[in-house]
Amino acid sequence: MAVSGRLVKIHGLYVITDPLPPGDALLNAVAGVLAGGAKTVQYRNKSADPRLRHEQALQVRRLCWQHGRTFIVNDDPDLAVAVDADGVHIGREDPELGTTRRLVGKHRLIGVSCYNDLDLALAAQAQGADYVAFGSFYPSRAKPQATRADVELLLRARPVLQIPIVAIGGITPENGAPLLRAGADALAVIHAVFGCSDHRRAAGRLARLFTNEGVQRDESKPD
């Protein structure tokens, strides 16, 4: 299964496919972001019928594996199992973590949305989550009413979380570096890559943040 039959740690550029047009446009866009340096692709489509979602998820998973990258399914543990995804990402309205683990097995990743709640992230870690996501850190086109988080949350979270931290929400090449310096292991984006005509270039600009000397971790501790 997965990128080589083993669990991988979430890190680097993490892209989420929603919204994207169907058919070849979806696969071409995903191929572009993978070529640009995306490490993880999350398939997210809340409007398609189950048959189309299965078909699309399977196609995107195959493409990710061809590039040796991680493939995650949003919200749907059953779909993650059906297409042999590397993992599933769940939020507050999805099956709870223990139920999800029983559905997807020990060999798949489970990510948990924790919004701006460090206690929720600590609980997820204790229950066996493989990574947590905080956000929205900036105004988000995908979720304009999303709960807002701030950099101080990352500074508090990094010393007490042993699992990867994903930052999400309105992230761009211009504002992503402070989140990495504060402790994020991955930056999750939608519009910053899929809202651009050149998907490879857009992904490349974000991926370079992870190699830039300017994103060295801020070792200072919050008061």
Domains of the chain with CATH codes: 12-211 (3.20.20.70)
Count of beta carbons in the 10 Å neighbourhood of residue 205:
20
Question: Which is it for strands 12-16 and 40-43: parallel, antiparallel or unpaired?
Answer: parallel
Contacts of 12 (CB under 8 A, 6+ apart): 37, 38, 39, 40, 186, 207, 210
Q: Which active-site residues does the annotation give? A: 44, 113, 143
User: What pLDDT score does 39 carry?
Assistant: 98
Between 75 and 20, the more confident residue is 75
Contacts of 64 (CB under 8 A, 6+ apart): 3, 30, 34, 41, 70, 71, 86
User: What pLDDT score does 46 carry?
Assistant: 87
List residues bridging with 165 in a β-sheet: 132
Residue 7 binned pLDDT confidence (cut-offs 50, 70, 90): low
Q: Using the predicted structure, report yes or no on whether residue 6 has a pLDDT greater than 50.
A: no
Q: Using the predicted structure, report yes or no on whether residue 54 has a pLDDT greater than 60.
A: yes
Structure tokens at 161: 């979380």
The 10s digit of each residue's pLDDT in 95-122 is 899 999 999 999 999 999 999 999 999 9
User: What pLDDT score does 16 carry?
Assistant: 97
Q: Using the predicted structure, report yes or no on whether residue 1 has a pLDDT greater than 50.
A: no
User: What pLDDT score does 147 carry?
Assistant: 85
The 10s digit of each residue's pLDDT in 192-211 is 999 999 999 999 999 999 99
Residue 212 binned pLDDT confidence (cut-offs 50, 70, 90): low
Average pLDDT over the chain, rounded to an integer:
91
Q: Using the predicted structure, report yes or no on whether residue 221 has a pLDDT greater than 60.
A: no
Q: Using the predicted structure, report yes or no on whether residue 222 has a pLDDT greater than 60.
A: no
- For 125, 148, 201, 207, the CA distances from 138, given in Å and listed in that order, are 25, 7, 22, 19
Between 202 and 219, the more confident residue is 202
Between 217 and 178, the more confident residue is 178
User: What pLDDT score does 93 carry?
Assistant: 87
User: What pLDDT score does 216 carry?
Assistant: 56
The 10s digit of each residue's pLDDT in 138-182 is 997 777 777 899 999 999 999 999 999 999 999 999 999 999 999
Q: Using the predicted structure, report yes or no on whether residue 79 has a pLDDT greater than 80.
A: yes
Q: Using the predicted structure, report yes or no on whether residue 129 has a pLDDT greater than 70.
A: yes
Contact in structure between 137 and 178 (CB atoms under 8 Å): no
